[in-house]
Amino acid sequence: MTDLDVAMICPKCDSRDVALVHVAYSKSVRGSEWGISESDFAYILRPPEEHSVIFWPLIIGTLAFLVAAGMYLLMGDIVGTPRNFLDEQTRSTAFRLGRWAFSTTAAIRCLLAIRFNLYRFPHQFEFWKNQVVCHRCSHQFPSTRLATFQQKTGVNS
């Protein structure tokens, strides 16, 4: 039994019915006229996803806007001088604070998403690609095929 054979045996149930995760995932996802259909097995094997640079910054920024404007209006009630939203100066200040909170929060979230997509996502995707999955027990484990090949040939990728 070679090192390659040992690498392709499930350590949990000793089954040889294993495949690379990305191969098993692509076989489990099938297209139809209504779109792509995922089986439960494919759902477990999904690849990592990049973070959205638009969607989450907008959602989080909008929440920050509402919280900042609402807190400004509520602070008047807390300190004993209620603020009337119909007053032009109060409304202007609340929206200015809200715009600042939206811009800052959305920019930070956007930068974090870009940082994730550039630095962490490629590593997570490469890790996912080198995983092996057992078809019997659904156990995922790392493939040692690349390491074995590099040791035998002395080649580094």
Statement to judge: residues 91 and 102 lie in one domain: yes
Statement to judge: residues 72 and 118 lie in one domain: yes
pLDDT above 50 (res 1): no
Statement to judge: residues 111 and 155 lie in one domain: no
Instruction: State the pTM of this model.
Output: 0.64
Taking the CA atoms of residue 10, residue 15, residue 19 and residue 20 in that order, the dihedral angle to the nearest 10 degrees is 0
Tokens matching residue 145: 């095929």
Q: Which of 126, 155, 147 is nearest to 4 (CA)?
A: 147
pLDDT in tens, 130-148: 888 888 887 888 876 555 5
Q: Is 20 helix (H, G, I), strand (E, B) or coil?
A: strand
Statement to judge: residues 81 and 121 lie in one domain: yes
Residue 130 lies inside a defined structural domain of this protein: no
Residue 18 backbone dihedrals phi, psi, to 5 degrees: -125, 160
Alpha-carbon gap, residue 101 to 117, rounded angstroms: 24
Q: Which residues contact 67 (CB under 8 A, 6 or more apart)?
A: 101
Residue 85 lies inside a defined structural domain of this protein: yes
Residue 109 lies inside a defined structural domain of this protein: yes
Residue 131 lies inside a defined structural domain of this protein: no
Statement to judge: residues 59 and 119 lie in one domain: yes
93 against 1, higher pLDDT: 93
pLDDT above 60 (res 117): yes
Tokens matching residue 5: 């054979």
pLDDT band at 120 (very low <50, low <70, confident <90, very high): very high
Statement to judge: residues 121 and 59 lie in one domain: yes
Contact between 47 and 22 under an 8 Å Cβ cutoff? The reply is yes
152 against 80, higher pLDDT: 80
Helix, strand, coil % in the chain, rounded to nearest 5: 60, 10, 30
Domain that holds residue 67: 55-125
Statement to judge: residues 13 and 43 lie in one domain: no
What is the tally of structural domains in the chain?
3
Statement to judge: residues 72 and 12 lie in one domain: no
Contact between 7 and 144 under an 8 Å Cβ cutoff? The reply is yes
Alpha-carbon gap, residue 108 to 61, rounded angstroms: 10
Statement to judge: residues 98 and 148 lie in one domain: no
Task: Compute CA distances 3 → 66, 94, 98, 145, whole Å.
Answer: 59, 66, 61, 8
pLDDT in tens, 9-38: 788 888 888 888 878 877 776 655 555 556
Residue 120 lies inside a defined structural domain of this protein: yes
